[in-house]
Structure 1
Amino acid sequence: MRTAVFLEAVWREPAEVLGALGERPWAIGLLTGGAEAGWSYVAAEPAASLVLTAADSQDPIDALAALAGPPAETDPAGPPFQGGVAGLLGYELGDRFEPLGLLRHDGWPDLACARYDALLAFDHAARRVLAIGRGESRAAAARRAAAARAWLDLPARPLRPLGVKLEADPPAAYEAAVAETVRRIAAGEIFQANLARSWRGRLAADAQPIDLMMRLAASSPAPFAAYLRLPDRAIVSNSPERFLRVDRRDGALLASTQPIKGTAPRGATAAEDAALAAALAASPKDRAENLMIVDLMRNDLSRVCAPGAVKTPELFRLVSFANVHHLVSTVTGRLRPGRSAGDLLRAAFPPGSITGAPKVQAMKVIAELEGPRGPFFGAMVWLGVDGAMDSNVLIRTAAFVQDAEGWRVEARAGAGLVADSVPASERAETEAKIAALAAALTAAPEGPNRE
């Protein structure tokens, strides 16, 4: 049985620690921010890693289980994640669960995860840090915990401008794709689809992907932000959306998901902002859009949950972020005996909120009109040694690829399309969603970001 050692440490901001580690291959950060910030995690130097490309025939859920190794006990008073597997699930991983012949994007793997036996857990509420080590013996676990605690002493990375000149996909091309999607909805092919638009650019010569993560953490902290550095790639996500969570409680595995559907921009004044929020909360279009995805997620959870256990305790909650208001709903369930977090991933991936309904046909429409997605609209996930899990939806996300000239960057933002969608309005929604990310990427050398 693998054992764990926990070492208390003095508080330091997780984004600052991640910044010091961020250029190391397989450095990872799962950061939470805002008024309801809970636990953040930072890790590097994994014990083992796993990368699956389209050419690899391994079953991804079985491969993740093998990477994780045998289950272990956790401290009930400790953080939700006390070591285990974490990393990237690319959108086209879904092609392994529902074969659609999807193309891949820019060389991105379907899956890139690692097992972290040393990590830092940051308790935002109590302002404390735990260095966690796991090993076959207490001495080995203690060495790993001490190594993780030493990361807290690394010098801070200065906040650098990224100097990116972003170029967006042509507005007319996106609006034409929206119009085609609406036509297919009217014809009865689908009820809803989430169609995205791309922005591309290149980092300044002295900038790194971690610099974007640090800027976003400082200017517009998000509840499900994430960072992963691979040898020649990186992901920076400022996601507001949880995908799937699994908690172990009283011997059972409890599942939940919190899909976001329904968006309005923030107002320039308090009165305008309140009016926009009220209009979103009352919008029949946005509520219907949200409800379609709630129904889809209820169906996905029902595939692995106990009969009658799937509930919807919350519908259409208004949540406000730096640039937008959103409607968020919650679906919960209890996994059937013998089912695991991996089974839930198999049943529900990719996230319904960024595909549409019916999911499979919506994915076919997206593949035709948007093309392959790679990391965009997949998930960043952790899978704990106790069988627990949490994951985000990779929206508000930038993907970096290193080449001979430096770092290329791409970002995407999408809109949920229904029968009464107006192409120009949906295009404007993508621009509102990308605003914080674009501001951080293009920030001038002097002065704070303005969101």
Structure 2
Amino acid sequence: MIRAFTARGERRLAWRDPRDLIDAVGGREGALILFSGDGGRVLMTAEPDATRELTDDPETLVALLADPAWEEGAIQLLSYDGGARLATGPRPTVWPDLMAARYPAWLEFEPETQTLTAIGHGTAETDVDGALDRAEGWLADAGTTPKVTGPLSVGFEAEADEETYRAAVADVVQRIGQGEIFQANIARGWRGRLRAYVDPLEVFRRLVAASPAPYAAFWRQGGRALVSNSPELFLTLRSRQVETRPIKGTRPRHADPRQDAGEVADLRSSAKDRAENLMIVDLMRNDLARVCEPASVRVDALFALESYANVHHLVSTVSGRLAEGATAGDLLAATFPPGSITGAPKHQAMKVIAAHEPPRGPWCGSLVLREGTDSLTASVLIRTLAFTLEEGAWHWRTQAGAGIVADSDPAAEAAEVLAKISAIRHALTGA
């Protein structure tokens, strides 16, 4: 049992561009670099004072999510398979259901105002100054790191070929026609290993340099590392107000402006994509209603367009007010895994997914930032690579999926998956 942080302090520092500090913080034990989506805010930390891993222990997991000792200054990684286990049963995976780390020292960057703040936590006032000094000391280690050129990865191997994926899509369409489900998100996977001189931090650097996403993240914990360039918000909780922003509907970007505008027009007018988005909006409304005040759950935005370097998306926003007595742990338990990457009905969709995919690991799980009681930001871990250190080399796995509905075309869904994986492929191989 660890003691909760009871003291907190801040120290204003001279502005530095967070991109210049990726190596100063990212090379340390337990390093975390996090884009929080709040107006471009970036958080950096390292050297946790406590870590935790859990697998196949749902009661302890929910208790940990609600434990005051892990409510502030903490990061929690929920793997997809832990949330899906009630539907799929146990499945072998090298990633735990939950990884957590708590950090006394943080750097907070606000690019819009060019404000840099050191934040220190402690179990006593005397701990705070030491944490602030440590965070400020990281700035002194910033230097110029030689740029790695050429491909970062040895191989970019598909776990199954495109014909296998198309057959999986066709099977799901048939299941939908038979009334088993309404929608399921089906993915393809790719594997490889980094070259001997390459660290996962370099993959993160390339992704955010080429196409930074609102919820990009790098996290290293022992022999595991996570690199995410996610555009999708799973949940925010602020003063008991909850918001979720599911993504459904995708088109590729094009260099030619007219062709790119044509993709936007096609996406906005697509009855198939709008129906897919609406199904998940209804699912998320239902999930939030389990832990929110009656009649507080509402749809704030429907089918909004968001554009990134490689794709356009349709994004909707659903909100509610957390019910009296409900905790952040209750909220996560009621809504995880995210509906946008499972399907509807969620329980049966996860069974269908398991019939076509190996365990997902962190991909389509969530990275949860805890900043105090009733305060969290959780991303959906799409556009994400999971790394494991094996015999001195970093091996990686990544996936990309598409939401399958009644009128899905297997060839079109396969093309959508390739569009979604293109940024990661380019970062790793240059292709």
TM-score range, shorter-chain basis? Answer: over 0.9
Structure 1: runs of 5+ lacking an equivalent: 72-82, 445-451
Equivalent residue, structure 2, for 1:360: 347
Normalised to the residue count of structure 1, the TM-score between the two structures is 0.90
SS of the residue corresponding to residue 69 of structure 1 reads helix
Equivalent residue, structure 2, for 1:165: 155
CA contact (8 A) 1:159 1:214 kept: no
Equivalent residue, structure 1, for 2:78: 89
CA contact (8 A) 2:310 2:423 kept: yes
Alignment of 1:429-444 (within 5 A): 429-443=416-430
Instruction: Give the residue type in structure 2 aligned to 1:87.
Output: Q
How far is the alpha carbon of 1:405 from its aligned partner?
Answer: 5.0
Q: What do you get for the CA RMSD once the two structures are aligned?
A: 1.7
Q: Equivalents in 1 of 2:377, 2:92: separation in Å?
A: 25
Question: Residue 270 in 1 paired to residue 257 in 2?
Answer: yes
Q: Equivalents in 1 of 2:29, 2:65: separation in Å?
A: 19
Q: Equivalents in 2 of 1:175, 1:433: separation in Å?
A: 16
1:8 to 8, 12, 15: 12
Instruction: Give the residue type in structure 2 aligned to 1:92.
Output: D
Structure 1 stretches (4+) deviating beyond 3 angstroms?
Answer: 156-159
2:49 to 41, 47, 50: 47
Equivalent residue, structure 1, for 2:296: 309
How far is the alpha carbon of 1:38 from its aligned partner?
Answer: 2.8
SS of the residue corresponding to residue 155 of structure 2 reads coil
Equivalent residue, structure 2, for 1:76: none
Question: Residue 201 in 1 paired to residue 192 in 2?
Answer: yes
Equivalent residue, structure 2, for 1:80: none
1:178 to 169, 182, 196: 169
Equivalent residue, structure 2, for 1:25: 29
Q: Equivalents in 1 of 2:154, 2:70: separation in Å?
A: 45
CA contact (8 A) 2:77 2:367 kept: yes
The worse-fitting range, judged by mean Cα deviation, of 295-304 and 158-167 is: 158-167
SS of the residue corresponding to residue 84 of structure 1 reads strand
Offset from partner CA, 1:51-85 (integer Å, 9 cap, x none)? 1123x56520212333x4287xxxxxxxxxxx422
CA contact (8 A) 2:87 2:347 kept: no
Question: Residue 238 in 1 paired to residue 229 in 2?
Answer: yes
How far is the alpha carbon of 1:342 from its aligned partner?
Answer: 1.3
Equivalent residue, structure 2, for 1:217: 208
Q: Equivalents in 1 of 2:87, 2:185: separation in Å?
A: 20
Equivalent residue, structure 2, for 1:261: 248
Equivalent residue, structure 1, for 2:64: 63
Closer, same or farther in 2 for the Cα pair 1:70/1:215, shift >3 Å?
closer
Question: Residue 324 in 1 paired to residue 287 in 2?
Answer: no
Offset from partner CA, 1:303-328 (integer Å, 9 cap, x none)? 00000000101000011111110000
Closer, same or farther in 2 for the Cα pair 1:425/1:95, shift >3 Å?
closer
Instruction: Give the residue type in structure 2 aligned to 1:280.
Output: L
How far is the alpha carbon of 1:40 from its aligned partner?
Answer: 1.3
Equivalent residue, structure 2, for 1:187: 178
Q: Equivalents in 1 of 2:87, 2:155: separation in Å?
A: 37
Alignment of 1:104-123 (within 5 A): 104-105=92-93, 107-123=94-110
Equivalent residue, structure 1, for 2:89: 101
2:397 to 403, 407, 410: 410
Equivalent residue, structure 2, for 1:77: none
Closer, same or farther in 2 for the Cα pair 1:294/1:227, shift >3 Å?
same
Q: Equivalents in 2 of 1:405, 1:139: separation in Å?
A: 40
CA contact (8 A) 1:159 1:215 kept: no
Instruction: Give the residue type in structure 2 aligned to 1:390.
Output: T
Instruction: Give the residue type in structure 2 aligned to 1:69.
Output: A
How far is the alpha carbon of 1:300 from its aligned partner?
Answer: 0.3
Aligned residues: 423
SS of the residue corresponding to residue 114 of structure 1 reads strand
How far is the alpha carbon of 1:399 from its aligned partner?
Answer: 0.8
How far is the alpha carbon of 1:386 from its aligned partner?
Answer: 2.9
CA contact (8 A) 1:32 1:221 kept: no
Closer, same or farther in 2 for the Cα pair 1:309/1:384, shift >3 Å?
same
How far is the alpha carbon of 1:5 from its aligned partner?
Answer: 1.2
Equivalent residue, structure 2, for 1:38: 40
How far is the alpha carbon of 1:25 from its aligned partner?
Answer: 3.2
Q: Equivalents in 1 of 2:21, 2:421: separation in Å?
A: 26
CA contact (8 A) 1:95 1:102 kept: no
Instruction: Give the residue type in structure 1 aligned to 2:168.
Output: A
CA contact (8 A) 2:23 2:142 kept: no
Instruction: Give the residue type in structure 1 aligned to 2:69.
Output: G
Closer, same or farther in 2 for the Cα pair 1:58/1:303, shift >3 Å?
closer
Instruction: Give the residue type in structure 2 aligned to 1:89.
Output: L
How far is the alpha carbon of 1:153 from its aligned partner?
Answer: 1.9
Offset from partner CA, 1:167-216 (integer Å, 9 cap, x none)? 12311111111111111111110000001101111101100011111111
Q: Equivalents in 2 of 1:438, 1:344: separation in Å?
A: 34
How far is the alpha carbon of 1:99 from its aligned partner?
Answer: 5.3
Equivalent residue, structure 2, for 1:424: 411
Instruction: Give the residue type in structure 1 aligned to 2:79.
Output: G
How far is the alpha carbon of 1:152 from its aligned partner?
Answer: 1.7
CA contact (8 A) 1:193 1:362 kept: yes
Normalised to the residue count of structure 2, the TM-score between the two structures is 0.94
Q: Equivalents in 2 of 1:286, 1:199: separation in Å?
A: 26
Equivalent residue, structure 2, for 1:140: 127
